[in-house]
Amino acid sequence: MGLSLDGIGSKRSVEWIEKFLHDPENVYGAQTLDHGMAPKEAAYVSRIPAENLHLIAVFLSELRADPGSSVAKRPPEGRSEFIDSMIGTWAPDSWKEKYQDIREK
Ligand code: HEM
């Protein structure tokens, strides 16, 4: 029902995850879909005892993504012919002015 949490440990810190589980809307700084106050479907999550939320956050933070997988924050190291060809085919020219290729950072 929610986001895929596979690889979340490569995107979010354990502190972030724990804070989110307690107080989702403040952490997102926006309205959430399912986490938050009742009657939202995942409202029960913030009522789970703090000790258990801590353990869940530690567990989730250990779910690291393989570099280059669809849930990884960064692409694989080095040049990839595949990524170059996808960018060449799908990225409109205007994106090249608007966005920076994070592989060149
Ligand atoms: C113990 C149970 C659950 C845990 C530990 C959990 C954990 C999380 C975490 C850590 C995120 C943040 C992901 C991110 O932004 O990187 C998230 C987001 C989300 N989860 Fe869950 N979740 C639980 C139950 C549920 C349930 C039951 C639903 C739906 C019925 C749900 C729906 C969502 C949605 C839609 C989001 C995006 C934020 C929002 O709009 O609410 N989750 N969840």
Structure confidence by residue, pLDDT tens digits, 15-36: 999 999 999 999 999 999 999 9
Segment 52-99, tens digit of pLDDT: 999 999 999 999 888 767 777 778 888 889 999 999 999 999 998 999
Strands (E), 10-101: none
The rounded distance, in Å, linking the Cα atoms of 48 and 79 is 45
Residue 94: the pLDDT is: 94
Task: Give nearest CA residue, ligand 1 atom 25.
Answer: 42
Q: φ and ψ at 64, to 5 degrees?
A: -95, 145
Residue 32 alpha carbon to ligand 1 centre in Å: 9
Q: Is 56 in the pocket of ligand 1 (CB under 6 A)?
A: yes
Q: Is 12 in the pocket of ligand 1 (CB under 6 A)?
A: yes
Residue 1: the pLDDT is: 66
In this structure, are residues 64 and 10 in contact, taking their beta carbons and an 8 Å threshold? Answer: yes
Sign of the alpha-carbon torsion through 43, 46, 49, 51: positive
Work out which ligand 1 atom sits closest to the CA atom of 8: 16
Domain boundary assignment for the chain: 14-61, 75-105
